[in-house]
Structure formats: C-alpha cells, structure tokens
Amino acid sequence: MNKYDAWEKYAEYEYQENGRHARRFGDKGRKRRQEAEARSALADISDNIQDWVPTYAQSLDPRHHERQWVIESVGPFYRQELISDVTRVVKAGKEANVYTCEATPQTGHELLAAKLYRPRMLRHLKNDAVYKAGRDLVDTEGKLIKGRRVRVALQKKTSFGQKVDIQWWIGNEYRSQQTLYEAGADVPEPLAFEGTAILMEYVGDEYMAAPLLNDVTLTPAEAQPLFRRVMDNVALMLDLHFVHGDLSAYNILYWHGRITIIDFPQLVEARHNPNAFMLLQRDIQRVCDYFTQFGVTADPVQLTLDLWEPYMGRNW
Ligand SMILES: Nc1ncnc2c1ncn2[C@@H]1O[C@H](COP(=O)(O)OP(=O)(O)OP(=O)(O)O)[C@@H](O)[C@H]1O
Ligand SMILES: [Mg+2]
C-alpha cells in the first residue's frame, strides 16, 4: 500500500466514524478492526518529516494521516518561498481541505489559502461525464494528451488513469481560475499549483475566513447590487466560454460587502459541452433562489436566455 492509499484508508475510517454512516451501521468490532487496519497501514510509512513542519501540522498526532498530507502537499509552496506557515484549517471537506497559510512578502499577500484535494476525490465527483463532455484531455501543463496509453488508462479507470484524471481536474481548475482572474472576474488570485494542491488568495482575515454568501443575511439595498455583480460575473465567464457548473450561494464568499466566486473543478466549456445551457440555467436558478429571499425579483429562465442567445449569436 502506498502512502496515499494509507492516508485515504485512514480518512475513510475517520469519515465513517464521524459521519452518518457510523450511526447507521455502527458496530464496535468492525470499527475497531478498521481503525487497527488504518493505523497499521500508516505505521509502515516512514515518518518523513523534513526540517519544516508547519504550525498546524505540529498540533496533530504524528501518526494522523492529515499531518503528512499537509506537510507534503504544501511543502513545495514553502520551498518556493510563497508561504512561511500553515496556521489552521478553514474547511475539511470530503473532496478537499482548505488551509490558511501565512504568505511571504514576495507574494504581495499576508495570507493565502491552500486547497488540498484528497488523492481519490474523483470517486466522489458526481456525474463526471456531464462536465467532461466535449473537453480535450490535457495534462497538468495544459498540453493536449495524445498518447494511446494515457487515453486507454483514463477510459478504463486504471489506477494510473485515476492519477491522470485527478491531475486533469485540478489542472483544469487552476488554469480556469487563472483565466478568470486575468479577465477581472471576482475570483481569488491563483498563485501556484503543485501535485494535488492549489495555492490562492485568501479571503478573510487572521481570525476568520470569509463566510459563504449562503450564511449571510442581506438587506434589500445590499442584495440588489450584489446580485447584479454575480450576474456580471456569470456574463463575463460566458464571454470566456465558461459556465461555472456548480454556482450557488455555497460557492460564493462574502467579505466586507464584496463577493468572491470559488470552486471551479466542474467548470465547463460552453462551445463544446452539450450540457452547457442546462448547467448555465441551473447556476442562474440557484443564484436567484438565494437573492429572492432578500427582495430581489428575477426571472432565471429569462436571464439565462438573455445571456445565452447573444452568446450563441456571437459564436455560431
Ligand atoms: N480562497 C479562499 N479564501 C477563504 N476561504 C476559502 C477559499 N477557498 C475556499 N475557502 C473555504 O473552503 C471551503 C471549501 O472550498 P471549495 O468550495 O473550493 O471546495 P469544495 O471541494 O467544494 O469543498 P466543499 O464540498 O466542502 O464545498 C469553502 O466553502 C470556503 O469556506
Ligand atoms: Mg464548494
């Protein structure tokens, strides 16, 4: 078992232990066996702790899977002198964890966010084909994948294929975020991408990360211009041939009166993906659902057509 598999096993054990699954299917003997298995898998791995252990990792048990995962994933950012420390976890999710990092002065930021994907997050990506339809397969540098071996591996989902796949998703997220940022969209500035980790601008301060828009209550006077701003971003994305694909108040941060759109692995290319219109409509519907609570009146179907028809006119 390699170390990524061992971390995953431990993470899975933890997830079941803490999640609904444990309550529904809890049986003590099985749980103990799982824990023993997960721990023994980790014990085989040398405690590869180099000279740098970020503050957050120091707070974890040396055998906790997350400790090595953090050290190794953000290590390259430290060696590139982009960050000087990792101080806390912003959010631990099933597919990725996001951490607060202290930045070095050369980055022009005080804090940065590191998004670390779990090595096997692909297993959880729902409806992968809807998003992938019509996309060219590109490698981590954005070059077209031509080799037969890679294509076959991807199609058959061999472990080599899965590795290529996860890199493909994350590389895609990073490049799209770069394009959006350069075009002036309200997205965090992406700074670096290594392995399965993305380093980007952090929204929030040293005490707290920005809340999700979904957790914020707005006055009608605040809601109207923010809604316009989100819709302007949707229009800008479409000009760049992008549809977010998972847009909602859960993937928008709110900080000091401004919105920041995050989370791009499911972004689709509107020129090539046959599901682009459907995804655009769903994105706009979800944005409207949030804002109508605060007095915004909007017709999501009409708004979608107002964006889509001129776009089609320009591009077909
Ligand atoms: N740049 C950032 N600055 C501050 N907080 C961030 C940033 N990026 C992400 N977060 C926080 O981390 C959480 C997870 O990030 P993101 O939505 O990109 O990942 P995810 O894989 O969708 O995770 P989840 O499924 O838990 O939403 C966000 O909901 C947000 O709270
Ligand atoms: Mg998200």
Q: Is the CB of 197 under 6 A from ligand 1?
A: no
Q: Are residues 178 and 62 part of one domain? A: yes
At residue 198, the 3 state secondary structure works out as strand
Region 233-257: what's the mean pLDDT?
Answer: 97
Cα of 251 to ligand 2 centre, how many Å? Answer: 5
Ligand nearest to the CA of 186: 1
Q: So what's the pLDDT on residue 250?
A: 97
CA-nearest residue, atom 10 of ligand 1: 98
Region 260-270: what's the mean pLDDT?
Answer: 94
Residues 131/176, Cβ–Cβ less than 8 Å: no
Distance CA 179, CA 307 (A): 20
More confident residue, 38 or 70: 70
Q: So what's the pLDDT on residue 47?
A: 43
Cα of 316 to ligand 1 centre, how many Å? Answer: 35
Q: So what's the pLDDT on residue 136?
A: 57
Give the pLDDT band of residue 192 (cuts 50, 70, 90): very high
**Number of structural domains found in the chain:** 3
Distance CA 271, CA 277 (A): 10
Q: So what's the pLDDT on residue 46?
A: 45
Is a pLDDT exceeding 60 seen at residue 18?
no
pLDDT in tens, 209-229: 999 999 999 999 999 999 999
Cα of 143 to ligand 1 centre, how many Å? Answer: 27
CA-nearest residue, atom 2 of ligand 1: 202
Distances (CA, A) of 194 to 114, 116, 140, 197, 199: 11, 10, 9, 5, 8
Cα of 267 to ligand 2 centre, how many Å? Answer: 12
Q: Are residues 252 and 236 part of one domain? A: yes
Q: So what's the pLDDT on residue 187?
A: 98
Cα of 196 to ligand 1 centre, how many Å? Answer: 15
pLDDT in tens, 112-169: 999 999 876 554 554 566 666 656 555 545 566 656 666 666 666 666 666 666 777 7
At residue 313, the 3 state secondary structure works out as helix
Write phi, then psi, for 187 (nearest 5 degrees): -135, 155
Q: Is the CB of 42 under 6 A from ligand 1?
A: no
Q: Are residues 222 and 99 part of one domain? A: no
Q: Are residues 178 and 97 part of one domain? A: yes
Distance CA 239, CA 261 (A): 16
Ligand nearest to the CA of 94: 1
- For the chain, give the mean pLDDT: 84
Q: What is the pTM of this model?
A: 0.80
Q: So what's the pLDDT on residue 48?
A: 47
Q: Are residues 224 and 200 part of one domain? A: no
Q: Which residues contact 35 (CB under 8 A, 6 or more apart)?
A: 13, 17
Last residue within a domain, chosen from 179, 204, 229: 204
Mutate to test the pocket of ligand 1, among 123, 258, 263, 267 (most ligand atoms within 8 A of CB): 263
Alpha helices, DSSP H, located in 44-122: 55-58, 65-79
Q: Is the CB of 186 under 6 A from ligand 1?
A: no
Which atom of ligand 1 has the smallest separation from the CA of 250? 29
At residue 211, the 3 state secondary structure works out as coil
Q: What percent of the chain has pLDDT over 70?
A: 71
Last residue within a domain, chosen from 204, 238, 273: 204
Distance CA 113, CA 98 (A): 6
Q: So what's the pLDDT on residue 49?
A: 46
The domain that holds 161 is classified in CATH as: 3.30.200.20
CA-nearest residue, atom 22 of ligand 1: 263
pLDDT in tens, 57-103: 999 988 888 898 999 999 999 999 999 999 999 999 888 999 999 99
Q: Are residues 132 and 94 part of one domain? A: yes
Distance CA 280, CA 266 (A): 12
Q: So what's the pLDDT on residue 125?
A: 52
pLDDT in tens, 298-310: 999 999 999 999 9
At residue 194, the 3 state secondary structure works out as strand
The domain that holds 259 is classified in CATH as: 1.10.510.10
Distance CA 148, CA 156 (A): 12
Last residue within a domain, chosen from 144, 177, 204: 204
Q: How many other CB atoms are found less than 10 A from the CB of residue 134?
A: 14
Which atom of ligand 1 has the smallest separation from the CA of 203? 3
Give the pLDDT band of residue 8 (cuts 50, 70, 90): low
What is the domain range of residue 219?
A: 213-315
